[in-house]
Amino acid sequence: MTVHPVAPRAPGRPRQFEESEALAAIMKLFWENGYEATGLSDIIAATGLGKASLYATFGNKQAMYLRALAAFEVQMVDAGARTLSDGLAPAMDRIAAFLDAPIAARRDANDTAGCFLCNASVDRAALDPATAEIVQRCYTKLGNALERTLAQIMPPAEAQRRAQMVLAVYSGLRVMARSGMNITALEQARDDALRSLSAT
Residue 44 predicted with pLDDT over 90: yes
Q: What is the pLDDT of residues 2-13, one digit of tens each?
A: 434 334 443 333
The pLDDT, as a whole number, for residue 20 is: 92
Q: What is the pLDDT of residue 110?
A: 87
pTM: predicted TM-score of the whole model, two decimal places: 0.86
CA distance 87 to 177: 28
First to last CA, the chain: 50
What is the pLDDT averaged over residues 95-104? 95
Predicted pLDDT of residue 18: 86
Percent of the chain with pLDDT over 70: 91
What's the pLDDT at 17?
Answer: 58
Distance of CA 8 to the CA centre of its chain: 33
Output phi, psi for 171, to 5 deg: -65, -40
Contact 29, 42 (CB under 8 A): yes
Yes or no: say if 17 and 47 are a contact pair by the CB < 8 Å rule.
yes
The string of pLDDT tens digits covering residues 72-81 is 999 999 999 9
**Cα–Cα distance measured from residue 111 to residue 114, given in angstroms and rounded to the nearest whole number:** 7
Residue 68 has pLDDT above 70, yes or no: yes
